[in-house]
Every structure is written in C-alpha cells, then in structure tokens.
C-alpha cells in the first residue's frame, strides 16, 4: 500500500509538471504565433515609409543601434510637396493600405478596379489642387534667389566692361542694378515662385508611378484571400506543433496511465 501511494504521488507530480510544461510551451507558441501574424499584417511601417518618401526625408541606419533613422531634408526648398499635400495624399493611402484590405478576398478584376479608382483620385487631386499640393518658395528663399540673380548680373556686366577695356566701378554697377530691380521686384518675386512651382510639378509623373507600385503591391497581398490563407495555414501548423487538435480527432483520456482509456 505504501508503495502504491508513493507511486501515485510521483505520478501526480509528474502529471502536474508535464501540464505546466505543456502550458508554458503552448503560451510560448501562441505568443510567437501572435507576433508573426502581427508582423505579417503590420502596415504602419509601409505607411510611415510612404510618409517620409512624400516629405523627401533622408534615410539612414544607426551604426550603434542598427535602427532606421529618418531625418528632414536639409534644404527645405528642394521639397516637392507642401505639408498639406503630404497629409492629403496620406489620407488616400490610409484608405487603401490597411489590415482590412489585406484580409479581404479580391480577384484580379476587383484589384484592377480599385487601382483604377485610386489612380484616378490621385490624378484628379493633383490636377485640381496643384496650387495647394506643390510647394512654392518662401519669401526668404525668394530673396536669396533674387540676390543670386543680382550677383550674377553684376558679374556679367563687370566681365563685359573688362572685355571692352572700360573702367569698372562695382559700386556704381550695383546701384544701377538695384534701381532696375526696384521697379520690377514684386513681379520678379511672383515669377520666381511660379517657375519653382512648375519645376515641382514636373515630378508629377514620378510621384504617380511610385504611389501606384506601392499601392498595387499592397492590394495584391489580398489576391484570392492569399494573406488570410497564409495566416490560417500558419495557425494550423502552430496548432499541430503545439499539440492542439484542430481536426477534432479524439485523444486518449488515460493521461500517463495507458489503461485509463480502456
């Protein structure tokens, strides 16, 4: 009797230890599975990358932490879009690139129709709101541009006088140029802004092409429910590895005693 009670006690301890180990392993697998699914459906990094791309921020990787770092472009005058333009385009991006769409079952016609609508919306937005979308230089930037133009014209006149063998008076030349500019300064400022806006609009085609590729790639992940199917397959494999019984097959009820199921 003593041996029997001792054996039963050891069996109970072993059974509890096994259950604890199974629960720990199950918890680990479930957390790992959840992490993989979250990564697979994670779209914030895609949208964040598009956001920095639209702002033309500079990308680098930290040598110490190996993390991605985005820093604003040094010369803001080189930016193509305004802050309003970036935010407006991001509203469209959020609507098309999200978890709901990734878990949808789209066929080829539906994806093509969505892409047609998306590209049409972006194209119409740019054509109708280009004055708000594309950046123009600030007053300070225009002032620097005008100063550079005046300096270039002064150098050209001085060079002309030098070639002709005439006396060069730099102060007099500067005074003449400023008097000429005084009458047309406001028009010159407006002209510079329009010229710079036209330069930005030339990026229109590149902008459309890049947004098209990114959005099309995201929507194609939902082709025939592939993203959803991939998650389901991964879950079933995790269940099998974790010892769960997704197919509903009866399991032994005998525990560590094989005669318990008889």
Distances from the Cα of 144 to the Cα of 77, 95, 190, angstroms: 11, 40, 14
Percent of all residues in the chain with a pLDDT value above 90, rounded to a whole number: 11
Neighbouring residues of 135: CB distance < 8 A, sequence distance ≥ 6: 79, 80, 81, 82, 85, 196, 197, 200
Using the predicted structure, report yes or no on whether residue 85 has a pLDDT greater than 90.
yes
Residue 209 domain flag: yes
Total of domains in the chain: 1
Residue 233 domain flag: yes
Using the predicted structure, report yes or no on whether residue 32 has a pLDDT greater than 60.
no
More confident residue, 131 or 103: 131
* Lowest model confidence (mean pLDDT) among 144-158, 186-200, 203-217, 234-248: 234-248
- Cβ atoms within 10 A of the Cβ of 136, count? 17
Residue 79 domain flag: yes
Q: How far apart are CA 68 and CA 215, in angstroms?
A: 22
Taking the CA atoms of 225, 227, 230 and 236 in sequence, report the sign of the dihedral they define. negative
**Burial level of 86, CB count in 10 A (0-12/13-18/19+)?**
buried
**Domain that includes residue 134, residue range:** 22-138+193-243
Using the predicted structure, report yes or no on whether residue 87 has a pLDDT greater than 70.
yes
Residue 14 domain flag: no
Residue 173 domain flag: no
The SS3 assignment for 157 reads: helix
Residue 175 domain flag: no
Residue 4 domain flag: no
Cα torsion at 120, 121, 126, 132 (round to 10°)? Answer: 170
Mean pLDDT estimate for the chain: 75
Residue 232 domain flag: yes
Average pLDDT over residues 45-50: 86
């Amino acid at each position: 009797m003593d041996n029997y009670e001792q054996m039963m006690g050891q069996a109970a301890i072993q059974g509890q230890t096994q259950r604890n180990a199974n629960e720990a392993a199950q918890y680990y697998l479930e957390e790992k599975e959840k992490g993989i699914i979250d990564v697979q459906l994670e779209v914030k990094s895609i949208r964040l990358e598009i956001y920095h791309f639209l702002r033309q921020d500079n990308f680098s990787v930290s040598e110490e932490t190996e993390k991605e770092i985005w820093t604003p472009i040094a010369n803001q005058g080189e930016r193509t879009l305004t802050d309003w333009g970036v935010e407006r385009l991001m509203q469209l991006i959020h609507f098309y690139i999200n978890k709901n769409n990734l878990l949808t079952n789209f066929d080829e016609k539906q994806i093509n129709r969505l892409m047609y609508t998306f590209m049409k919306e972006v194209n119409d937005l740019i054509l109708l709101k280009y004055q708000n979308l594309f950046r123009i230089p600030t007053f300070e930037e225009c002032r620097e541009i005008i100063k550079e133009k005046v300096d270039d014209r002064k150098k050209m006149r001085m060079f002309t006088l030098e070639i002709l063998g005439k006396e060069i008076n730099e102060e007099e030349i500067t005074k003449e140029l400023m008097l000429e500019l005084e009458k047309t300064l406001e028009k010159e400022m407006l002209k510079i802004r329009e010229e710079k806006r036209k330069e930005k609009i030339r990026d229109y085609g590149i902008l459309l092409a890049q947004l098209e590729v990114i959005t099309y790639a995201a929507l194609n992940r939902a082709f025939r429910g592939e993203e959803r199917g991939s998650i389901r397959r991964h879950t079933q494999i995790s269940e099998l590895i974790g010892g769960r019984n997704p197919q509903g097959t009866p399991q032994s009820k005998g525990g560590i005693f094989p005669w318990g199921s008889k």
